[in-house]
Amino acid sequence: MYNQPYYKEENKKKILDFIEEYPFAFITGSFLSGEQVATQIPILLDERNGELYLQGHIMRNSNHYKAFLENPNVLIVFTGPNCYVSATWYSNPHIGSTWNYMSVQVSGKIQFLTDNELKNFMRKLTLKFEQNNTHSQTVYDNLPESFLNAALPAIVGFEVKITNLENVFKLSQNQDEESFSNIINELEKRGGQSALIASEMQKIKPKVFPK
């Protein structure tokens, strides 16, 4: 990752909250030959006995499953809002423009779940994204047995014990206060992801420029 200390979030809770807020992650690995595999899937964060785990599921008949059978090393990337930042907004515009973004990278070794563990995971996954609505027809326990009997053999559940947790919350922390405020104003005008970045910059402004 882009390893500049002023772009690092040190509050662990904020990092974990970010994972919860942006759970659709990019998961990548490789065969022993070096051929790489990647996919994007929803991920759940789980804490047990003070240890952090990520859980998900992938298709059984896929290259990424076959690769992880050979090589359990995995990298999972969570990405949030991002946007272009023009140097014309700086107090000194005669430097390069840049891109602001928020990203968390997790690495560890993948382990596959048993059939019962997969079922429990699917219960948690469906309930979470159905806002814990137990009456929803699409949560695991309300799905027809015929559907589950056909669908479950086609997927494998996994979990990754987090051994390394890195982040880059690149939000113009290296700029002077005038530039920082100008960037916020310009991003707010643009809306969308730019406005989301502006909101994050507003949150950290007192820390970046303490009075």
pLDDT in tens, 103-141: 999 999 999 999 999 999 999 999 999 999 999 999 999
DSSP letter for 113, please: P
Query: What is the predicted pLDDT for the residue at 101?
Result: 97
Q: Where are the beta strands (DSSP E) in the chain?
A: 24-30, 36-42, 44-48, 51-59, 73-85, 98-112, 155-170
Collapsing DSSP to helix, strand or coil, 26 comes out as strand
Asked if the model's pLDDT at residue 2 lies above 80, the reply is no
Q: To the nearest 10°, the Cα dihedral for 29, 40, 158, 134?
A: 170
Report pLDDT for 211.
83
Residue where the block lists tokens 């964060």: 45
What is the predicted pLDDT for the residue at 103?
97
Q: Would the pLDDT of 184 be above 80?
A: yes
pLDDT computed for residue 83 by the predictor:
98
Nearest alpha carbon to residue 89 among 5, 193, 198, 208: 198
Q: What is the mean pLDDT of residues 17-28?
A: 97
Query: 39 with 64: CB under 8 angstroms?
Result: yes
pLDDT in tens, 79-88: 999 999 999 9
Q: Which residues pair with 183 in a beta bridge?
A: none
pLDDT for the residue 121: 97
Number of helices and strands (H, E) in the chain? 6, 7
pLDDT at 1 over 80: no
Q: Are 108 and 161 in contact (CB under 8 A)?
A: yes
Q: Are 68 and 29 in contact (CB under 8 A)?
A: yes
pLDDT 10s digits, 43-91? 999 999 989 999 999 999 999 999 999 999 999 999 999 999 999 999 9
Share of the chain above pLDDT 90, in %: 94
The domains found in the chain, sorted by start residue, are: 5-115+155-204 (2.30.110.10)
CB atoms within 10 A of CB 111: 15
Identify residue 19 by its one-letter amino acid code.
I
- Give helix 177-190 / helix 192-208 axis angle, nearest 10°: 160
pLDDT at 202: 97
